[in-house]
């Protein structure tokens, strides 16, 4: 699948690489740890403007909320950054390289 354009439901300035959820026909940052997500923000923009979202199968950069190793499944944290998924959490992506908190690494979207 390819990237798709959606309308931002909030200011996403500086949030490229964060996990997004769908809400009321727009996209917003994931805000509940491990929640189901739509994809990963590929570019950033202000509320009510178009943003590009990486969907399943797409390789993109993700912002990390913790230390990960290549091959780890990643889930959204409470701020939309990604960290190693726990058993009860929805997988959003798989890490394609190692990284630590606040790094941006390549991952494949698998939501």
Instruction: DSSP for 26-91, please give it.
Output: EEEE--STT----EEESS---TTSEEEEE-TT-EEEEEBSS-B-TT-EEEE-TTS-EEEPPTTSPP
Between 47 and 79, the more confident residue is 79
Query: Lowest-pLDDT range, 16-25, 38-47, 58-67, 90-99?
Result: 38-47
Torsion angle defined by CA atoms of residues 18, 20, 26 and 32, in that order, rounded to the nearest 10 degrees: -120
Mean pLDDT for the chain?
A: 95
More confident residue, 89 or 44: 89
pTM: 0.94
- Per residue in 61-107, pLDDT (tens digit) is 999 999 999 999 999 999 999 999 999 999 999 999 999 999 999 99
The conformation of residue 9, written as its DSSP 8-state character, comes to S
> Quick one: pLDDT at residue 47?
78
């Amino acid at each position: 699948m390819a990237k798709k354009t959606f309308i931002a439901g909030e200011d996403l300035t500086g949030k490229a690489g964060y996990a997004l959820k769908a809400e009321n026909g727009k996209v917003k940052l994931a805000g509940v740890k491990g929640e189901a997500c739509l994809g990963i923000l590929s570019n950033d923009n202000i509320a009510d403007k178009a943003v590009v979202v990486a969907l399943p199968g797409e390789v993109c950069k993700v912002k990390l909320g913790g230390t990960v190793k290549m091959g780890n499944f990643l889930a959204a944290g409470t701020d939309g950054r990604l960290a190693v998924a726990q058993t009860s959490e929805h997988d959003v992506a798989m890490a394609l390289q190692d990284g630590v908190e606040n790094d941006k690494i390549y991952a494949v979207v698998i939501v």
